[in-house]
Amino acid sequence: MMSPFLFWIFAILMLVFGAAVIINRNPVASALSLVVSFFGLAALFLSLDAYFIGVIQVLVYAGAIMVLFLFIIMLLDLRAEELRKINWIASAGGIAVALALMFQIFSVVEKFPAAKQSFPPLAKPAPDDVRQIGLLLFNNYTLPFQIIGIVILVATVGVIILSRRETR
Amino acid sequence: MADSVDQIFVHAKQWLMSPLEGHIPDCLIQIVSSLLNIAAVLGVFLTLFALMSVLERKILGRMQNRYGPNRVGPFGLFQPVADGIKMLIKEDIVPARADKVVHFMAPILIAAAAILVLGVIPYGRNMTPFVIDGGILFFFAVGSTTELAVFMAGWGSNNKFSLLGAMRAIAQMISYELPLIITVLPVVMVVGSLNPDKIVFAQESYHFGFVPHWFVLTPWGATAFILFFVSGLVESNRTPFDVPEGESEIVAGHMTEYSGFKYATFFLAEYLGMFAVSGLAVTLFLGGWHAPLPGLGFVPSYVWFFAKLSVLLFGFIWIRGTLPRIRVDHMMNFAWKFMLPMAFTCLVSAAVWHYSGRRLSGWLWSFAIIAVVYFALSLLLDARRKFTPRTYRFAE
C-alpha cells in the first residue's frame, strides 16, 4: 500500500493532465498530456498493488497506442484545430451542463444510504498477481480470451486488405 | 571467506543503513534504501559508460589498423572526461520554430527510461536493485516509452531530417519489439515466472556435473538468444541497424537539432539501453550471475555477471567494426518475414523440450523443429532465384 499522500499527488497529476488534453489547442501537446495522464493512472494501479495492470497500462497505452495516435496526428498535420477560435458561448454552456450534472450526482449520492457505509478493508494482495491473472485467463475465461484474439486478427487482416487495394 | 566477498556490497549497504534503524520511520528507511540502490546503479553504469565509450573507440581503432584515442591520460583512458567537458561547455542551440517544451523533455525522458530498466536486472546474489514480480514485463513497458521520447525529439525539433529519423526509428523499434518480446516468452514459459531472480535461479545447477543449466545451451534457447541479441542491436540503434541516424542520408536522425549536453544525453541513453538489453540477455539466457563451471563458485557472483556482460558488449563493438549499414526495406523484411516466425518457432520448440521431460530426446526434437523451420524459411525467402532485369518505375 502506498501512503495517501502519494495517492493525492498522482490523482491530481492525472486530473490536471486530463484537463490539459482538452484545453490544449495543439494536438501533439494534447496527446503528450494524455500520456502523462496514463502514467498517473498506472501509478494509481500500482498503489492498489495491481502491478500487472499498472505495467500493462504503461506498455499498451503509453507505449503502443499513444505512438499510434502521435503518428496519425503527425501524418494528418492538424493545423486547423490550432487556428480555430474558441466559441465562448458554447464553452460556457458546456461548463454549465457539466456543473449541473456534477451537482445532481452529488445530491443523489448524499441521499443514498448505501453510500454512507464504510467499505471493508481490501483483502491482502497476492504477491504473484501475474500468475493469478494467467491462471484465471487460461482456466475460467479461455473462450472469451480466444474470441478476443480472433477479433483482433480479423481487424488486422481487414486493415491490410483495405490498405493494399490500390496496388492491384 | 568466498561468501563474504560475494555479499560485500549487500553487507556494505546494511552497514550504511544500520545507524538509521529505529531513529526514523519505516517509510523513510525504504526511501533511503531505494536511493542507495539508485546511487549504486547510476555510479556503476555511468562509469561503465565512460569506460565503454573509450574502449569502443580503442577496439574499433585496433580493428581498423589505427591507434584510437591515445592523447588524454595513460592509453587515452581520460578521454571520456575530456569529451564530457567539451559537451558541457558547448552552446545549447534550440531551433527558433521548435516546440520548446517537447524539445527539452525528449532527452530527459529517453535517459529516464534507459536508467529505469537497469533497475530490475539481478547483478549478483541478492543484488537486484528493485525486486518486482513482473520484472521482465516492467523492463519492456518502460523500454517502450523510448519510442515516445524519440518521437518527441523528432517532432519537437521541427526539422525534416529529425522527423524522418524519428519515423525510421519508431518503425524499426516497433517491428523489432515483437521478436524481442516473443523470444523472451519461451524462457518465461519454461521457468513459469516473470521475475528475473526466479529466472536466474532456474538456471542454477549443472548437467553431468559440469554443463551449466543455462538456457542458451538448449536448441530453442540458443536460437532465442541469437534472435534476442539481433533485436537488441536494433532496439539500441547500433550498427548494422543504425538506419535512424544514418549520417550519409539524414544527418543524425532525431538528434539532428540537439547539441551540447542534450546530445550527450541521447548518446548516454543509447549506451545505457545497450547495457540493459545485454544485461537482460545475460539474465535470461546466459545464467545470470551463475558461474560457468561448478568449481568456479568462489569467484563473486557480480564478477561473473559483469564478465558475461562485457563479452556481449564486445560483441556489439565487434559487429559495429565489421558490418556495413543495412537498407531500411531489407531490415523490415528481415523482421517480419524471418525473425517473427523464428521467434514463434522457439516458443513451440521450448514447449516440446519442456513436455518431453527436458531429456536428450526432447533436446533433439526441439532442435529438429527449429532446423526444419529454418530451412523452410530460407527456401521460401531465397532471393537468389529471382534475379530479373531491373525495371525502373519512374526513371525509364
Region B375-388 average pLDDT: 76
Q: Give the pairing of strands B211-212 and B206-207.
A: antiparallel
What is the mean pLDDT of the segment spanning A59-78? Answer: 78
* Residue A58 confidence (pLDDT): 84
CB nearest to B141's CB, from A28, A63, A67? A63
B206 in any annotated domain: yes
Closest Cβ–Cβ partner in B155, B174, B194 for A74: B155
Report pLDDT for B239. 75
Least CB–CB distance from A59: residue in B137, B174, B194: B137
Cβ contacts below 8 Å, chain A against chain B, sum to 66
Q: How far is B223 from chain A (nearest CA, A)?
A: 26
Within chain B, strands assigned E span 206-207, 211-212
The three cell numbers locating residue B52: 565503454
Give the structural domain span for A144.
126-168
Cβ separation of B134 and A55 shorter than 8 Å? yes
CA angle, B99 as apex, B96 and B102 as ends, to 5°? 135
pLDDT one-digit tens code per residue, B151-172: 888 888 888 888 888 888 888 8
Range of the domain at B355: 82-382
Does A130 sit within 8 Å of B194, measured CB to CB?
yes
pLDDT, tens digit, 9 for 90 and up, residues B240-299: 887 777 677 777 778 888 888 888 888 888 899 899 999 999 998 888 888 887 777 777
Same domain as A162, residue A102: no
Q: pLDDT class for B88, splitting at 50, 70, 90?
A: confident
**CATH number of the domain encompassing residue A99:** 1.20.120.1200
Q: What is the mean pLDDT of residues A68-85?
A: 72
Four-CA torsion B171, B173, B177, B180, nearest 10 degrees? 130
Question: Is B199 domain-assigned?
Answer: yes
**Min Cα–Cα distance to chain A from B353, Å:** 21
Asked if residue B14 has pLDDT above 60, the reply is: yes
Instruction: Give contacts of A32 with chain B, Cβ < 8 Å.
Output: 102, 152
A110 and A41 within one domain:
yes
Cα B341 to Cα B345: distance, rounded to the nearest angstrom:
6
pLDDT value at position B125?
81
**Among residues 142-161 of chain B, which lie with CB inside 8 Å of chain A?**
142, 144-145, 147-148, 151-152, 155
Q: Is the confidence at residue B300, as pLDDT, over 70? A: yes
pLDDT, position A82: 64
How far from A146 is each of A53, A141, A143, A152, B81, CA to CA, in Å? 20, 9, 5, 10, 56
Residue A149 is predicted with a pLDDT of 92
More confident residue, A27 or A145: A145
Q: pLDDT > 90: what percent of chain B?
A: 7
Same domain, A62 and A98: yes
Same domain, A109 and A143: no
Instruction: Name the band, by pLDDT with cuts 50, 70 and 90, for residue A100.
Output: very high
Residue A6 and residue A36 in contact, taking contact as beta carbons nearer than 8 Å: no
Does residue B225 form part of some domain? Answer: yes
One-letter amino acid for residue A19 of the chain: A
A149 and A111 belong to one structural domain: no
Q: Which residues of B touch A66 (CB under 8 A)?
A: 148
Inter-chain CB proximity A55 and B141 less than 8 Å: yes
CB contact under 8 A, A130 and B134: yes
Domain count, chain A: 2
Query: Residue B197 is placed in which grid cell?
Result: 531472480
ipTM above 0.90, yes or no: no
Identify whether the C-beta of residue B190 lies closer than 8 Å to the C-beta of residue B202.
Answer: yes
Whether residues A64 and B144 touch (CB distance < 8 A) is answered with: yes
Residues 159-218 of B with CB under 8 A from A: 163, 167, 170, 174, 192-194
Q: Choose the mutation target among A35, A67, A78, A131 for the interface with B, i.e. most B CBs under 10 Å.
A: A67
Find the mean pLDDT for residues B380-385.
72
Q: Do B107 and B265 touch, CB atoms closer than 8 A?
A: yes
Residues A116 and A139 in one domain: no
Q: Quote the pLDDT of residue A125.
A: 65
Beta-carbon-side half-sphere exposure of residue B250 (alpha carbons within 13 Å): 23
On whether residue B2 sits in a domain, the answer given is no
**Chain B residues within an 8 Å CB radius of A71:** 151, 167, 170
pLDDT tens digit sequence for B204-250: 877 777 778 888 888 888 899 999 999 988 888 877 887 777 677 77
CB contacts of A63 in chain B (<8 Å) are: 141, 144-145, 147-148
| CB spacing of B155 vs A70 below 8 angstroms | yes
Q: Would residue B28 count as lying in a domain?
A: no
* Count of domains for chain B: 1
| Among A41, A3, A37, residue whose Cα is nearest residue A22 | A37
Q: What is the secondary structure of B347-377 as a DSSP string?
A: HHHHHHHHHTTTSHHHHHHHHHHHHHHHHHH
Would the pLDDT of A14 be above 60? yes
Tell me how many degrees the CA angle B250-B255-B261 measures, rounded to the nearest 5: 150
Is pLDDT larger for residue B31 or for residue B108?
Answer: B108
A25 with A43, same domain: the answer is: yes
Backbone φ and ψ for B358, nearest 5 degrees, come out as: 55, 35
Smallest CA–CA distance, residue A150 to chain B, in Å, is 18
Q: Are residues A96 and A131 in the same domain?
A: no
Query: Which of B27, B141, B151 faces A70 most closely, judged by CB atoms?
Result: B151
- Closest CB from B102, B147, B193 relative to A63: B147
pLDDT in tens, B164-196: 888 888 888 888 888 998 999 999 888 888 888
What is the 3-state secondary structure of B245-311?
Answer: HCHHHHCCHHHCCCCHHHHHHHHHHHHHHHHHHHHHHHHHHCCCCCCCCHHHHHCCHHHHHHHHHHH
Residue B27 at interface with chain A, using a CB cutoff of 8 Å: yes
Residue B384, pLDDT score: 66
| A66 and A96 share one domain | yes
pLDDT at A57 over 60: yes
Helix, strand, coil percent values for chain B (each to nearest 5) = 70, 0, 25
Measured CA to CA in angstroms, residue B98 lies from B111, B162, B247 at distances of: 21, 11, 22
Instruction: For residue B207, give the 3-state DSSP assignment.
Output: strand
Judge if A68 and A130 occupy the same domain.
no
Q: Assess B33–A contact: CB distance below 8 Å, yes or no.
A: no
State whether A111 and A145 are in the same domain: no
Same domain, A93 and A161: no
Q: Identify whether B93 is part of a domain.
A: yes
The cell for B11 is 553487507
Query: Is B265 contained in some domain?
Result: yes
Please answer yes or no on whether B102 and A130 come within 8 Å at the CB atom: no
- Per-residue pLDDT tens for A132-160? 888 888 888 999 999 999 999 999 899 88
Is pLDDT of B396 > 60? no
Mean pLDDT, chain B, integer: 83
Cβ pair A62:B144 closer than 8 A: yes
B141 touches chain A (CB under 8 A): yes
Let me know if residue B53 belongs to a domain: no
- Say what the pLDDT of residue A143 is: 92
For residues B134 and B84, give the distance between their C-alpha atoms in angstroms, rounded to a whole number.
36
Q: Does residue B387 have a pLDDT over 70? A: no
